[in-house]
Structure 1
Amino acid sequence: MNAPSFAGPVKRSVTIAGHQTSVSLEPVFWAALERAAGEERLPLSALVARIDGGRIAGPSPPNLASAIRTWLYLRYASHSQ
């Protein structure tokens, strides 16, 4: 097994509901998010908007980057069981 490649966050702009916002995620999370968008047959911005909608509906919303990381973890952790 290869050693994991550790890299710091990369900031990218995403459009949500017609507004630009920037999100900082590590490259491994960007790759997983792009994979999930492909699997869902959605543009990346549409998937981020969906995650954001779920995030802001909660009682104590985390920041968007945290919500994305959590969503990805829950998505892929449930697929591995």
Structure 2
Amino acid sequence: MTKLQYRKLGNGGAVFDPANWRTHVLTPAAAIIFEALTEVGAEEGTLLRSRALDFLRDELELDTETPEMQQVLRSLQEMGMLGG
């Protein structure tokens, strides 16, 4: 996996994928989730979706079943950050 490049933009952020030249703009909440999952999966590259969900529920106490959270997770998966 190509390393994603992340930059904070105000309260949110932007992620650039040099493999396909796509840029993703993150809301403030998505930026916090991205940063937290980056730390969790830093050594693994692609983080298993199940591990990410466990972390979000147990450590950050987030409801991962909301439509908003599902959209964030889909976006992270499209970026290649989350795997099966």
Higher-strand-fraction structure: 2
Q: Which TM-score bucket, shorter chain as reference?
A: 0.3 to 0.5
Larger Rg: 1
Higher fraction of helix: 1
TM-score (norm 2): 0.34
